[in-house]
């Protein structure tokens, strides 16, 4: 028997300490619900779990991004729904104006509504916004981040839905230039003025007259004669030019040809095209405050096809956005499934099995209490030495 070292007590104390540490560990896991509360619990498991947590949170945010993208698309598509309604009304008015039961005064009233409808299209194009971003003016080129990782994007562009972009605005002026002769200014096929410049001096003359026959789409131009020239001479039209070439309006599709009697200074647009002595260029200046011209029977007839093309253009844009929206719907479903499966995998690593851990806690708690009792017994053993000393 020895008294300097109570080996039994030391051993019991060591066991008690271990049991108490185990009880504390179980209490920590049971109170947090996590199997891994610090890196020491499972170093590799912690690293894997944190990587999965980053992926899960990225997927959840990507799902929100996709939902915001759908909201943006619905805003744009809803505005284009009204654009469709406006274009359908414009087509209806053009069809009405193309009927000759209407007088010029009637068509003028119809034109007023078309002008206002064109302005309404422009208002929708300019004012439709999502989070202060314009959607229908042709400037929106967006990227939706719909994944948890880099590069998992969806690019979306929305076309210009203004009246000008759709081709249903009035034309302020259309100019076709033949470099070696003269300039024709065409106001939407209704008014054409003649100017022709002297090739040597560059001066411009504005003399001359014209008439436009709407029935056969023919323009007759009477050019000014040179001062003092004999009207019966072919050169009387302009002695400073090689030949008199009719202007070709390539925008409206009218063709130019010289009239049979060149001497009277006439030319016709509407017949066979005459090759131009020089380069031909054309430019159209739209008038955003005016709608497409329906003020004449022929103009209204042509406008029907133009407006239908605009309707088709809006339909194509809405179809494209609808397809993107359906894609985002499927993306949201996939992101939700992926996040759910990753969460389950992360849970198996990180979360504690409460029932199993309660078993461990109960065992360690009983062992701790038993160790305390045994430590008390071990501390009583050295007192047996006193019996030997009596």
pLDDT per residue as tens, the chain (390 positions):
788 888 889 999 999 999 999 999 899 999 999 999 989 888 999 999 999 999 999 999 999 999 999 999 999 999 999 999 999 999 999 999 999 999 999 999 999 999 999 999 999 999 999 999 999 999 999 999 999 999 999 999 999 999 999 999 986 644 433 332 333 333 343 333 333 333 233 333 333 444 444 444 444 444 444 444 444 444 433 332 223 333 333 333 333 433 333 333 334 333 333 333 333 344 456 777 889 999 999 999 999 999 999 999 999 999 999 999 999 999 999 999 999 999 999 999 999 999 999 999 999 999 999 999 999 999 888 888 888 887
Q: Give me the half-sphere count of Cα atoms (radius 13 Å) on the Cβ side of residue 190.
A: 15
Residues linked to residue 282 through DSSP beta bridges, in sequence order: 176
Which structure tokens are listed for 159?
Answer: 């076309």
> 243, 213 in Cβ contact below 8 A?
no
Q: Note the Cα 389 to chain centre separation in Å.
A: 100
Distance in angstroms (rounded) separating the CA atoms of residues 127 and 137? 9
Q: Note the Cα 233 to chain centre separation in Å.
A: 63
Residues linked to residue 284 through DSSP beta bridges, in sequence order: 174
Which structure tokens are listed for 211?
Answer: 């008439």
Q: Which candidate, 264, 189, 180, places its Cα nearest to that of 221?
A: 264
Phi first, then psi, for residue 383 (nearest 5°) are -65, -15
pTM of the shown model = 0.65
């Amino acid at each position: 028997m020895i008294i300097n070292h109570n080996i039994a007590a030391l051993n019991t104390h060591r066991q008690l300490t271990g049991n108490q540490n185990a009880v504390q560990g179980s209490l920590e896991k049971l109170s947090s619900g996590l199997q891994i509360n610090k890196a020491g619990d499972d170093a590799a498991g912690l690293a894997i779990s944190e990587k999965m947590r980053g992926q899960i949170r990225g997927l959840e945010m990507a799902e929100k991004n996709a939902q915001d993208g759908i909201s943006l698309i619905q805003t744009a598509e809803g505005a284009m729904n009204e654009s469709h309604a406006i274009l359908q009304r414009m087509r209806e008015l053009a069809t009405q104006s193309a009927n000759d039961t209407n007088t010029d005064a009637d068509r003028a009233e119809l034109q007023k509504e078309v002008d206002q409808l064109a302005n309404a299209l422009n208002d929708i194009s300019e004012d439709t916004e999502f989070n202060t971003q314009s959607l229908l003016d042709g400037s929106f080129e967006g990227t939706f981040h719909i994944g948890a990782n880099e590069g998992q994007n969806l690019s979306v562009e929305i076309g210009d839905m203004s009246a000008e972009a759709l081709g249903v605005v009035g034309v302020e002026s259309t100019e076709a230039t033949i470099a070696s002769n003269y300039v024709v200014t065409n106001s939407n096929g209704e008014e054409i003025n003649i100017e022709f410049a002297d090739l040597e001096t560059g001066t411009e003359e504005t003399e001359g007259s014209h008439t436009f026959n709407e029935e056969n789409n023919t323009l007759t131009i009477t050019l000014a004669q040179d001062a003092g020239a004999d009207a019966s001479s072919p050169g009387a039209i302009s002695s400073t030019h090689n030949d008199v070439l009719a202007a070709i309006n390539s925008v409206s599709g009218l063709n130019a040809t010289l009239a049979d009697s060149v001497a009277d200074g006439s030319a016709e647009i509407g017949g066979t095209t005459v090759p131009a002595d020089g380069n031909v260029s054309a430019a159209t200046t739209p008038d955003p405050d005016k709608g497409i011209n329906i003020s004449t029977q022929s103009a209204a007839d042509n406008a029907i096809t133009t407006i239908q093309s605009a309707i088709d253009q809006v339909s194509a844009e809405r179809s494209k956005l609808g397809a993107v929206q359906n894609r985002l719907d499927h993306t949201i479903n996939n992101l939700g499934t992926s996040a759910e499966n990753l969460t389950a995998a992360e849970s198996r690593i990180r979360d504690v099995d409460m029932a199993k851990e309660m078993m461990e806690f109960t065992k360690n708690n009983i062992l701790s209490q038993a160790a305390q009792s045994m430590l008390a017994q071990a501390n009583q053993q050295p007192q047996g030495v006193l019996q030997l000393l009596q």
